């Protein structure tokens, strides 16, 4: 929706429309900068330098979302932690490179809104991390974010329009904590801890709830936890159909999808299972299967499509793939998407058009 064409206009209106950080500064909103696309006009074309006034923004449209999934913070097929980020256009089914991370990390949590995404925590290959990196979608610009409370790997994130929720993981032991990252303020606060620690669950959700399912505790799990953002309360959800870890999740406004994964006992089995979790009824059904059984895929979604990309067909680096499965929510159908340019596993997924929009 465009900004108002008459009446009062405030810096907070610009932040709501285009994103940005707090405290708010008008200098964040030059055309072609981190928040406002080049060529944007209000009462007149917005400048990229020089004089910038609030009155120029009357009637300015919101930035058109680029409509892509962003995948990275991964291992490659040689078990090397890499900095590459790949963009998947939901509509055109094309792959392009995003701006590479400034430092390599894997097994981070990822969460974001329609303006930006955060990679938090993770592992360098030798050191667990508490740092974060922010990616602004319109400008493809990276910057350092705030630190989460505990350095850990195997973190799993879910996000609302205002906050990212980074849950679980492994520090010196498995943890049940949840860090809340406020996008605008770049601050991290403690959320409510879960009833038990986990590593590598999948996560989905809406603008009001996060849903974490499966993962590993003392063994692999089917359990689901639902975090209500407004009240910082956690309730048990319905278990998924098959116990597994290294599972991935995404979803739209009405359902979450939890796909792939593996179990290691009594033997190693990698799954193509795709569970559909309907939020309103807390019901779980087995949906169509992934085209290839694999673990540690990257997953993200738009309101129309869910993507499960890359992942490994076995618990070894050489089994990493570049395969993409594309799920259409309206028809409950899976199709083959375009393969990534690099085989990855334990990648993270973000979306410039989150499924809950």
Provide the pLDDT for residue 41.
79
Across residues 73-80, what is the average pLDDT?
Answer: 95
| pLDDT of 221 over the 90 cut | yes
Provide the pLDDT for residue 6.
86
Provide the pLDDT for residue 31.
82
DSSP string of 217-233, one letter each residue: SSSB---EEEEETTTTE
DSSP string of 256-302, one letter each residue: EEEE--EE-SSS-EE---EEEEETTTTEEEE-PPPSS--BS-EEEE-
- pLDDT tier at 65, thresholds 50, 70, 90: low
Across residues 309-332, what is the average pLDDT?
Answer: 95
Bridge partner residues of 164 (DSSP): 159, 181
| pLDDT of 289 over the 70 cut | yes
- pLDDT tier at 63, thresholds 50, 70, 90: low
CB 15 within 8 A of CB 29: no
| pLDDT of 203 over the 80 cut | yes
With 0-12 CB in 10 A as exposed, 13-18 as middle and 19+ as buried, what is 32? middle
Provide the pLDDT for residue 94.
94
- pLDDT tier at 340, thresholds 50, 70, 90: very high
**Cβ neighbours for 280, distance < 8 A, ≥ 6 positions apart:** 254
| pLDDT of 66 over the 70 cut | no
Mean pLDDT, rounded, of the chain: 93
| Least confident range of 116-125, 135-144, 301-310 | 135-144
Provide the pLDDT for residue 1.
66
List the domains of the chain with CATH numbers: 1-64 (no CATH), 68-351 (2.120.10.80)
318: DSSP letter: G
Please provide residue 16's backbone torsions phi and psi, each rounded to the nearest 5 degrees: -65, -40
- pLDDT tier at 64, thresholds 50, 70, 90: low
Half-sphere exposure (Cβ direction) of 265: Cα atoms closer than 13 Å: 7
45 vs 240, more confident: 240
Over the stretch 12-23, which tens digit does the pLDDT of each residue have?
888 888 877 888
Cβ atoms within 10 Å of 340's Cβ, excluding its own: 22
CB 229 within 8 A of CB 209: yes
Provide the pLDDT for residue 107.
97
């Amino acid at each position: 929706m465009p900004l108002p064409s008459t009446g009062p206009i405030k810096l907070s209106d610009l932040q709501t429309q285009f994103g940005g950080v707090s405290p708010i500064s008008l200098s964040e909103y030059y055309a072609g900068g981190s928040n406002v696309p080049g060529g944007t006009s209000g009462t007149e074309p917005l400048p990229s330098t020089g004089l910038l006034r609030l009155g120029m923004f009357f009637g300015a449209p919101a930035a058109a979302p680029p409509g892509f999934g962003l995948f990275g913070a991964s291992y490659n097929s040689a078990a090397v932690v890499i900095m590459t980020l790949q963009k998947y256009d939901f509509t055109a089914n094309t792959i392009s490179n995003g701006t590479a991370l400034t430092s390599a990390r894997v097994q981070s949590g990822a969460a974001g809104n329609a303006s930006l995404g955060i990679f938090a925590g993770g592992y360098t290959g030798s050191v667990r991390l508490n740092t974060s990196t922010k990616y602004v979608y319109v400008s493809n610009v990276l910057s350092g974010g705030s630190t989460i409370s505990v350095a850990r790997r195997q973190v799993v994130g879910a996000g609302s329009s205002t906050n990212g929720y980074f849950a679980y993981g492994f520090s010196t032991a498995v943890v049940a904590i949840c860090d809340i990252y406020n996008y605008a303020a770049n601050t991290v606060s403690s959320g409510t801890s879960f009833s038990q620690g986990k590593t590598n669950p999948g996560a989905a959700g809406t603008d009001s709830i996060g849903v974490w399912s499966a993962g590993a505790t003392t063994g692999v799990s089917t359990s689901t936890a639902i975090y209500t953002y407004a009240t910082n309360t956690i309730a048990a959800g319905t278990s998924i159909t098959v116990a597994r870890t290294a599972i991935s999740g995404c979803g739209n406004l009405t359902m979450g999808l939890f796909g792939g994964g593996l179990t290691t006992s009594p033997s190693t089995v990698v799954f193509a299972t795709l569970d559909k979790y309907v939020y309103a009824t807390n019901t779980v059904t087995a949906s169509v299967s992934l085209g290839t059984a694999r673990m540690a895929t990257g997953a993200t979604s738009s309101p129309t499509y869910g993507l499960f990309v890359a992942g490994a067909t076995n618990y070894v680096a050489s089994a990493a793939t570049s395969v993409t499965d594309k799920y259409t929510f309206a028809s409950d159908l899976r199709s083959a998407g375009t393969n990534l340019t690099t085989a990855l596993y334990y990648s993270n997924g973000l979306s410039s058009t989150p499924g809950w929009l």
